[in-house]
């Protein structure tokens, strides 16, 4: 190597350089690999000479990339050797090497990372399998080659091997680069850039594919691939009839798939354009290809022919406006940037015509060898159509499991087959599942009933007869419980209360209240619990709505009810039932039928008007039977009764316990003093089984793992549900309490409390915790808007059926009809539509996704608040947390541990920023003494206070400290702004990847910070970036000199030479020293 020439990198090369720096050298992100089997008499030396000849002819193959002035430049060597060594895989000449040996060698060849700064960016190797059987491996970095160029190289290598003359190229890649920059920077691409800005206006910022794991703050690009069957043959005919290309047909099919996976009616998909629109570029070797967006509206009411026509227009749009470099499009559109997402599109669709056939070697048969898996994925999903129409799907393993992606690709096949068969059918009516898979999915949503028929009152009385003198509820024995129940039942019967009646119970948690419930059931009536904590107006409203046949209360609450005009039966709270009462002779329990109501509970309604849900005895008995089948309660169990009677958590606690003859243990008020007090109370009371809201279990897990609070030794089973679970907290509890079984359940009041359950012996590393499978006697289906089952992994609405269904909403036939509809798969039965979203996993279990009416969305990002909540909860000072969107920004509400002292909100925000993509980091953190909760223990999001506006002084505050001041100075210089504040975001101020490169170069010079580029994407706010710089380098010295300005280096074709490289002289000198080029 005797001389080099430095010219600016192309726009594509700048992107590769940025991507490699963000990846921090972790993977070979942009390697292009070719493997061909060569059968016949091969002249290895001639092949090696032909390869070297191609390197000699094409400057791009002698190019490396180096930063000068903060921007990458092409450094072109005058000569560069790229050998083609022969590796003999035959240790025994008579043996035949296993295909695995070739595959392993090819994988290493393809996956070994190139050093962009040192080069060469191409390698060649010949594997000798037999005397006349070889495999040639060729790997080139995408920065110096593209698919078109690879075809040119193979043609030239074949010609040289055959001894034919190969013409020198008229233009080199550097010529194209200089022309492209002149053209673009001179305004030649402005029309196309403007076109894409208009085309992408209002497009969704991200296509939020349903994933198995939370998106990491910084992607490592780990990936895998699947080889798929070709799309149906009829698709090409449909394309021809519609006068669009087969690629447009594939685009239509892909758009339809993405619509079904996400529900989006506006999708943006990336594709590769060859960039060879000018004849003079045909023989240039280099990366002229670029990615461009395909925006495709997918309307459910349209048919596939309409979608096909739109796809054809989108493809033509790319061809007509291909002069705009993708990076310039990104700058112009300026989407919300986060290092966790690719900008503008996250899914790619490409066609790869195949180039192996362009290598013609006399006497040698050339056969492509399947490419080895690269182990990376640059996008969330990438679909590539191969030469024979076969599909390859590359996917991010950081986000998806293989089984999930296989489900998505089966969905693609089913949709495409259906579209070909019925192209005039509305898209919403095309089945996403083939018939056999549809039946499998439906069958997985049904669970057979377990156990004998019966009713809770009958089972409770039987338990009392078996153990009359043991504790039933607190200190109340079974004899006493049934005695009090018998007395109240007789009283109610005497007042005309019987089957079909509803009796209001105005009482808190107490043994007397449980006896009252049993008494109401003995009378054949349903109980309606009303919480004494309710305000008078609410009590009056609910009594007027329910019109109960009687009201039962305890002595302490009777005066209040009388003041409200309600005549109540007062329970004998302090007086024990006399011996002999409750022996079954004083009055007999009224037999109840499965359809008779067991209880009525008011639940909140979206309109603000509560709904009275009536649950029959058959539904209650079905739940108790399933509960016993799962948890096997025995008379020795002590079950915590913690929930308010007006919420169905209390029914989960009470009725399985009574039916099993176990002891119900009311929670004491002291247990509300904190997690440690709660656990201490569980231990003192000897509780063996506890049903807890998930948020409470999160707090208890923190107390056990962070504060060392012991797990109660008596506890054998915890059943958690009611809210989305934090995987990290449940995993921590699982580790701290290995002897306590942990069940995670899901259900709704309208379906007898619980419909699915999972035992969590381990907590997998997933974004969400499974809610399990349907419990016995229950159906749980995940359906789309057309009431069809969705494929595995795809979110849909949860519909519940089976014996546990409520009768409906009392006296509200309209509301009942809206939610309890005809079963689409079983005539004469009903399903309840929950409004909840879930996805079925390939193993048949379910994951809760969220509420249809509570989806958080911010700047085009769909946000699952559980992700930032989980990260904030890992901070040492945080005891409890909730995240929601308020006034167009993400807000985190935290409760600090008492011993934490003062913790600045900015510290909590920075803690989240270290682990989350930018759009998931709360812009504001509000500290509260406690999170507001509903009576059932769930976080009341609507009661969270609005954050106080940031003071104008905070927004205008000057940078604090020398590092912030230095970073602010660099930002001002690079961004061309007069001043910046600590809370400013680099990208919202107009920064983009190229300007980030200039900032990174100056940070490296100023502070010696490695991976500075990555820091900018991880910490786009000035204060966060300065703090990260301090952690990596120490604060800036006082009076540190300002960063030297840097600029791009340019060169012209006529007379490119060493002295023409212009820019930062110090960097150029360092570059030359490392290259070993002498200079004066």
CATH code, 107:
3.30.559.10
pLDDT of residue 338: 62
Angle at 913 between CA 733 and CA 201, to 5 degrees: 120
Shared domain check, 815 and 700: yes
Lowest average pLDDT, out of 679-683, 1020-1024, 1039-1043, goes to 1039-1043
Domain membership flag for residue 1052: no
Shared domain check, 986 and 941: no
Mean predicted confidence (pLDDT) in 199-215: 89
pLDDT of residue 1059: 29
Domain with residue 385: its CATH number is 3.30.559.30
pLDDT of residue 1014: 67
Q: What are phi and psi of 688, to 5 degrees?
A: -105, -25
Pure H helices in 382-477: 402-421, 435-444, 456-466
Tokens for 227?
């080889």
**Residue pLDDT, tens place only, 400-447:** 999 999 999 999 999 999 999 999 999 999 999 999 999 999 999 999
Lowest average pLDDT, out of 44-58, 305-319, 365-379, goes to 365-379
Shared domain check, 384 and 309: yes
Q: State the Cα–Cα distance between residues 414 and 152, nearest whole angstrom.
A: 38
Residue recorded with tokens 């569980």: 682
Domain membership flag for residue 437: no
Tokens for 54?
């191609």
Shared domain check, 793 and 750: yes
Angle at 142 between CA 140 and CA 148, to 5 degrees: 90
H or E segment and range at residue 720: strand 717-721
Q: What are phi and psi of 482, to 5 degrees?
A: -70, -35
Shared domain check, 596 and 665: yes
Distances in Å between the Cα of 854 and the Cα atoms of 206, 579, 851, 858, 1027 are 19, 55, 5, 13, 35
Shared domain check, 766 and 737: yes
Contacts 24+ apart (CB under 8 A), 181-186: 181/8, 181/10, 181/11, 181/1050, 183/323, 184/11, 184/323, 184/324, 184/325, 184/328
pLDDT of residue 1074: 33
Last residue of some domain: 847, 873, 897?
847
Distances in Å between the Cα of 813 and the Cα atoms of 99, 542, 595, 611, 807 are 69, 18, 17, 11, 11
pLDDT of residue 91: 56
Pairing state between β 133-141 and 122-130 = antiparallel
Shared domain check, 342 and 310: yes
* Axis-axis angle for helices 234-241, 304-320 (nearest 10): 70
Closest CA to 83 of 52, 105, 54, 107: 52
Shared domain check, 324 and 359: yes
Contact 529, 520 (CB under 8 A): no
**Positive or negative CA dihedral for 1057, 1062, 1064, 1065?**
positive
pLDDT of residue 1: 44
Q: State the Cα–Cα distance between residues 34 and 866, nearest whole angstrom.
A: 44
Last residue of some domain: 818, 847, 876?
847
Last residue of some domain: 783, 817, 847?
847
Confidence of residue 1062 (pLDDT cuts 50, 70, 90): very low
Confidence of residue 217 (pLDDT cuts 50, 70, 90): confident
pLDDT of residue 820: 96
Domain membership flag for residue 857: no
Domain membership flag for residue 26: yes
Mean predicted confidence (pLDDT) in 555-576: 81
Mean predicted confidence (pLDDT) in 193-207: 93
Q: For the residues of 781-837, what is the DSSP string, one character each?
A: EEE-TTS-BPPTT--EEEEEEETT---EETT-HHHHHHHEEE-TTSTT-EEEEEEEE
**Percentage of residues in the chain with pLDDT exceeding 70?**
88
Domain with residue 772: its CATH number is 3.40.50.12780
Shared domain check, 657 and 599: yes
Contact 817, 830 (CB under 8 A): no
Domain membership flag for residue 215: no
Q: Using alpha carbons only, how large is the chain's radius of gyration in Å?
A: 35
Domain with residue 894: its CATH number is 3.30.300.30
pLDDT above 70 for 729:
yes
To the nearest 10°, the Cα dihedral for 790, 792, 795, 800?
Answer: 70
Domain membership flag for residue 443: no
pLDDT of residue 864: 65
Confidence of residue 575 (pLDDT cuts 50, 70, 90): very low
Shared domain check, 683 and 807: yes
pLDDT above 60 for 384:
yes
Mean per-residue pLDDT of the chain: 86
Domain membership flag for residue 1066: no
Confidence of residue 386 (pLDDT cuts 50, 70, 90): confident
Tokens for 897?
């541990």
Shared domain check, 978 and 945: no
Give the count of domains, the chain: 5
Q: What order of strands is seen across the sheet that includes strand 889-896? A: 878-886, 889-896, 924-928
Q: What are phi and psi of 21, to 5 degrees?
A: -70, -40
Q: Which domain holds residue 598?
A: 456-847
Q: State the Cα–Cα distance between residues 577 and 572, nearest whole angstrom.
A: 9
Contact 832, 820 (CB under 8 A): yes
Domain membership flag for residue 1071: no
Closest CA to 738 of 770, 765, 705, 707: 705
Q: State the Cα–Cα distance between residues 655 and 754, nearest whole angstrom.
A: 13
Confidence of residue 467 (pLDDT cuts 50, 70, 90): very high
pLDDT above 50 for 879:
yes
Shared domain check, 654 and 567: yes
**Residue pLDDT, tens place only, 334-368:** 887 665 788 999 999 999 878 888 999 999 999 99
Confidence of residue 1050 (pLDDT cuts 50, 70, 90): very low
């Amino acid at each position: 190597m005797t001389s080099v020439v430095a010219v600016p990198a192309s726009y594509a090369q700048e992107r590769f350089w940025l991507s490699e720096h963000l990846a921090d050298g972790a993977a070979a992100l942009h390697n292009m690999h070719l493997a061909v089997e060569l059968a016949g008499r091969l002249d290895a030396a001639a092949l090696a000479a032909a390869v070297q000849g191609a390197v000699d002819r094409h400057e791009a193959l002698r190019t490396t990339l180096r930063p000068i002035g903060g921007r990458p430049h092409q450094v072109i060597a005058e000569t560069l050797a790229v050998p083609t060594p022969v590796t003999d895989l035959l240790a025994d000449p008579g043996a035949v090497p296993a295909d695995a040996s070739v595959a392993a060698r090819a994988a290493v060849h393809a996956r070994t990372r190139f050093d962009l700064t040192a080069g060469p960016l191409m390698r060649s190797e010949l594997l000798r399998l037999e005397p006349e059987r070889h495999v040639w491996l060729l790997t080139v970095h995408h920065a110096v080659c593209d698919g078109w160029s690879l075809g040119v190289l193979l043609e030239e290598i074949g010609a040289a091997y055959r001894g034919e003359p190969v013409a020198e190229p008229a233009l080199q890649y550097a010529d194209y680069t200089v022309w492209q920059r002149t053209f673009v920077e001179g305004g030649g691409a402005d029309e196309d850039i403007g076109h894409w800005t208009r085309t992408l206006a209002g497009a969704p910022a991200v296509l939020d594919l349903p994933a198995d794991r939370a998106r990491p703050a910084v992607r490592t690009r780990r990936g895998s691939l699947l080889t798929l069957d070709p799309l149906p043959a009829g698709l090409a005919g449909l394309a021809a009839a519609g006068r669009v290309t087969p690629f447009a047909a594939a685009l239509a099919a892909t758009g339809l798939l993405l619509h079904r996976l996400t529900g989006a009616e506006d999708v943006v998909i990336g594709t590769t354009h060859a960039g060879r629109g000018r004849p003079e570029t045909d023989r240039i070797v280099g990366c002229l290809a670029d990615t461009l967006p395909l925006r495709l509206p997918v309307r459910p009411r349209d048919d596939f022919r309409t979608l096909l026509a739109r796809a054809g227009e989108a493809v033509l749009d790319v061809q007509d406006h291909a002069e705009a470099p993708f990076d310039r499009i990104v700058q112009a559109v300026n989407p919300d940037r986060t290092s966790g997402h690719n900008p503008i599109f996250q899914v790619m669709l490409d066609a790869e015509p195949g180039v192996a056939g362009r290598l013609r070697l006399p006497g040698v048969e050339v056969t492509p060898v399947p490419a080895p898996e690269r182990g990376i994925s640059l996008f969330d999903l990438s679909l590539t159509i191969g030469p024979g129409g076969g599909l390859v799907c590359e996917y991010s393993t950081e986000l998806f499991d293989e089984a999930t992606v296989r489900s998505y690709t089966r969905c693609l096949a089913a949709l495409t087959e259906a579209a070909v068969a019925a192209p005039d059918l509305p898209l919403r009516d095309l089945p996403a599942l083939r018939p056999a898979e549809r039946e499998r999915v439906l069958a997985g949503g049904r669970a057979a009933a377990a156990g004998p028929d019966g009713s809770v009152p009958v089972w409770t009385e039987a338990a009392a007869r078996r153990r009359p003198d043991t504790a039933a509820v607190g200190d109340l024995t079974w004899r006493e419980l049934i005695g009090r129940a018998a007395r109240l039942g007789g009283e109610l019967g005497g007042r005309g209360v019987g089957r079909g009646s509803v009796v209001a119970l105005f009482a808190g948690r107490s043994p007397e209240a449980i006896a009252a419930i049993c008494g109401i059931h003995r009378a054949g009536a349903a109980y309606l619990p009303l919480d004494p904590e309710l305000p008078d107006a609410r009590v009056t409203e609910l009594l007027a709505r329910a019109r109960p046949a009687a009201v039962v209360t305890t002595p302490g609450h009777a005066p209040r009810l009388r003041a409200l005009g309600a005549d109540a039966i007062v329970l004998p709270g302090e007086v024990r039932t006399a011996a002999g009462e409750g022996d079954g002779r004083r009055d007999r329990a009224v037999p109840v039928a499965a359809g008779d109501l067991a209880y009525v509970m008011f639940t909140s309604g979206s309109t603000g008007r509560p709904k009275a849900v009536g649950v029959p005895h058959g539904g209650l008995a079905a739940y108790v039977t399933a509960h016993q089948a799962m948890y096997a309660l025995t008379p020795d169990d002590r079950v915590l009764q913690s929930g308010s009677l007006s919420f169905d958590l209390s029914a989960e606690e009470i009725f399985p316990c009574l039916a099993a003859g176990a002891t119900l243990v009311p929670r004491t008020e002291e247990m509300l003093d904190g997690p440690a007090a709660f656990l201490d109370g569980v231990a003192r009371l000897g509780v063996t089984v506890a049903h807890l809201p998930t948020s409470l279990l999160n707090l208890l897990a923190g107390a056990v793992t962070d504060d060392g609070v012991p797990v109660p030794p008596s506890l054998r089973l915890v059943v958690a549900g009611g809210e989305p679970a934090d995987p990290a907290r449940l995993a921590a509890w699982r580790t701290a309490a290995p002897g306590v079984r942990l069940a995670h359940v899901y259900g709704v009041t309208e379906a007898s409390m619980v419909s699915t359950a999972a035992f969590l012996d381990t907590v997998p590393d997933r974004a969400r915790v499974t809610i399990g499978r349907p419990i016995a006697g229950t159906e749980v289906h995940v359906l789309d808007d057309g009431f069809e089952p969705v494929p595995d992994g795809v979110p849909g609405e949860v519909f519940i059926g089976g014996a546990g269904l409520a009768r409906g909403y009392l006296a509200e036939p309209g509301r009942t009809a809206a939610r309890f509809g005809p079963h689409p798969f079983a005539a004469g039965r009903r399903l309840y539509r929950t409004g909840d979203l879930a996805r079925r996993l390939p193993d048949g279990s379910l994951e809760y996704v969220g509420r249809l009416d509570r989806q958080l969305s911010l700047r085009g990002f769909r946000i699952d608040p559980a992700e930032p909540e989980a990260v904030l909860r890992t901070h040492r000072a945080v005891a409890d947390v909730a995240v929601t969107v308020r006034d167009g920004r993400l807000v985190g509400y935290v409760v600090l541990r008492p011993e934490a002292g003062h913790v600045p909100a900015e510290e909590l925000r920075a803690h989240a920023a270290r682990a989350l993509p930018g759009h998931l980091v709360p812009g504001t953190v509000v500290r509260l003494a406690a999170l507001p909760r509903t009576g059932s223990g769930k976080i009341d999001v609507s009661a969270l206070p609005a954050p106080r506006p940031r003071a104008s002084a905070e927004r205008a505050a000057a940078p604090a400290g020398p590092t912030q001041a230095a970073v602010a100075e660099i930002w001002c210089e690079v961004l061309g702004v007069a001043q910046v504040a600590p809370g400013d975001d680099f990208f919202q101020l107009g920064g983009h990847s190229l300007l980030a490169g200039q900032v990174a170069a100056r940070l490296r010079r100023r502070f010696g910070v490695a991976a500075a580029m990555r820091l900018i994407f991880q910490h786009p706010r000035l204060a966060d970036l300065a703090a990260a710089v301090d952690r990596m380098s120490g604060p800036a010295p006082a009076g540190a000199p300002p960063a030297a300005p840097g600029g791009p280096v340019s060169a012209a074709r006529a007379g490119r030479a060493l002295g023409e490289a212009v820019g930062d002289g110090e960097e150029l000198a360092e570059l030359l020293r490392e290259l070993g080029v002498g200079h004066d």
